[in-house]
Amino acid sequence: MPENILALSKEVSDIALKKMGEIREVTGSTKILALNALIEATRAGEAGKGFAVVANEVKSVSERVNAIAGELDKALRSRVAQLDELGGRLIAELRGERLTDLALNMIDIIDRNLYERSCDVRWWATDSAVVDCVADPSEEKRAYCSRRLGVILSSYTVYLDLWVADATGKVVANGRPDRYPGVVGRSVANAAWFRDAMATRDGTEFAVADVQASDALGNRPVATYATAIRQGGEERGAPIGVLGIFFDWEPQARAVVEGVRLTSDEKPLTRCLLVDSRFRIIAASDGRDVLTGSLHLDTRGKERGNYSLPDGTVIGFALTPGYETYRGLGWYGVIVQKRAT
């Protein structure tokens, strides 16, 4: 931990001040001895004159050493105070920059992951089985589409389910009917991801919804990506339905927030978070307040940065930078680290 630098500085200061105290004790004793020697030399009269000179010199040296020790003590205390102040600022800056970098790395990993999800939905929507399912929704076509989606899910284990809805918003096929039997026939017409997907201009665009629990998928938190299924599977074909894919958010996000590279000293003092554009907590390394709580984040209009709280807690944050064609959703990576005691 950076605070170890200041702890070492304080330890050195304590040792030096202790030793100067010991020097003062020794010079005090020496001064007393010199004074006693001078008294005895005076009593000895003429025979003690030579010894009196030595006693006076010892007394003078003792006083000089004591004065030097006092000057050093005063100077050292002043310099240590300055060192503590400068060191504290420097360490806070270094610590804050490190936490900012960790926050940026965390959100960057998420962006790259979600970019792949945006690619998945766009090309799966052109699959002939998916297109045929809404173009000619016969029982046979819907059954084949469901099997095809199941094959995709067997290879892409990061998804809970894939849904195909017709232009009215009625789900006509899903990839895991055995696990989620109540999906087919469900209406998603009022879901924002469905409406946004139907409104896309061409096959290069997609819709995405913030993380939320899905009652149809066992109340598991999902990040939903969707795009229009287009006539003939063509990029500029008319929209005839929607493909919605449901990213299994919790285990993927947990792996990211728990995988931040912290030292063993930092881990019990640090909380790694992902928050959405409203600062709602969508992932937390300690598992607290996920989807139920919010974080007061003072970004001061910056995309990334750090700041300290009065109790010494340092917060580093970074806004999603996006990746390739994925611009991100205004999410932040956040690291909250308490001060070591």
Q: How far apart are CA 94 and CA 316, in angstroms?
A: 11
Q: Give per-residue pLDDT as tens, 76-102.
A: 777 777 767 776 677 778 888 999 999
Q: What is the mean pLDDT of residues 9-16?
A: 72
* Average pLDDT along the chain: 87
Q: Residue 180's domain spans which residues?
A: 117-248
Position 211 pLDDT exceeds 80: yes
Q: What is the mean pLDDT of residues 150-175?
A: 96
E-assigned strands of the chain? 159-166, 171-174, 207-214, 220-230, 239-248, 270-275, 281-284, 304-308, 314-319, 332-337
Lowest-confidence pick of 16-20, 103-107, 166-170, 263-267:
16-20
- More reliable by pLDDT, 75 or 318: 318
- The answer to whether the CB of 59 falls within 8 A of the CB of 31 is yes
97 in any annotated domain:
no
> What sign for the dihedral angle of Cα 271, 324, 193, 159?
negative
300 in any annotated domain:
no
Supply the DSSP string of 7-68, one letter for each residue: HHHHHHHHHHHHHHHHHHHHHHHHHHHHHHHHHHHHHTGGGGHHHHHHHHHHHHHHHHHHHH
Q: How far apart are CA 44 and CA 46, in angstroms?
A: 6
Residues in the chain: 341
Share of the chain above pLDDT 70, in %: 89
Position 302 pLDDT exceeds 80: yes
The pLDDT value given to residue 79? 72
- More reliable by pLDDT, 298 or 4: 298
85 in any annotated domain:
no
Position 335 pLDDT exceeds 60: yes
325 in any annotated domain:
no
The pLDDT value given to residue 4? 65
104 in any annotated domain:
no
- More reliable by pLDDT, 39 or 219: 219
- Please state the φ and ψ torsions of residue 261, each to the nearest 5 degrees: -80, 95
Angle between helices 3-43 and 49-124 (to 10 degrees): 180
Q: Is 200 helix (H, G, I), strand (E, B) or coil?
A: coil
Q: pLDDT band for 315, please (50, 70, 90 cuts).
A: very high
76 in any annotated domain:
no
Q: How far apart are CA 136 and CA 240, in angstroms?
A: 10
Q: What is the mean pLDDT of residues 323-340?
A: 86
Q: What is the CATH number of the domain that holds 142?
A: 3.30.450.20
- Residue 318 exposed, middle or buried by CB count within 10 Å (0-12, 13-18, 19+): buried
Question: Do β-strands 239-248 and 270-275 pair in parallel, antiparallel, or remain unpaired?
Answer: unpaired
- More reliable by pLDDT, 157 or 188: 188
The pLDDT value given to residue 47? 62
The pLDDT value given to residue 87? 67
Q: What is the mean pLDDT of residues 30-46?
A: 71
CA angle 338, 340, 341 (to 5 degrees): 120
Name the nearest CA neighbour of 259 among 246, 274, 245: 274
Lowest-confidence pick of 7-21, 128-142, 218-232, 278-292:
7-21
Q: What is the mean pLDDT of residues 253-275?
A: 94
Q: How far apart are CA 313 and CA 263, in angstroms?
A: 17
The pLDDT value given to residue 95? 86
- The answer to whether the CB of 146 falls within 8 A of the CB of 162 is no
Q: What is the mean pLDDT of residues 13-36?
A: 72
Q: How far apart are CA 18 and CA 30, in angstroms?
A: 18
298 in any annotated domain:
no
Lowest-confidence pick of 85-89, 294-298, 301-305:
85-89
Give the total number of structural domains in the chain.
1
The pLDDT value given to residue 63? 73
- More reliable by pLDDT, 3 or 316: 316
Q: pLDDT band for 50, please (50, 70, 90 cuts).
A: low
127 in any annotated domain:
yes
pTM listed for this prediction = 0.75
- The answer to whether the CB of 248 falls within 8 A of the CB of 234 is no
C-alpha separations of 212 from 110, 193, 249, 308 in Å? 16, 12, 9, 31
The pLDDT value given to residue 2? 53
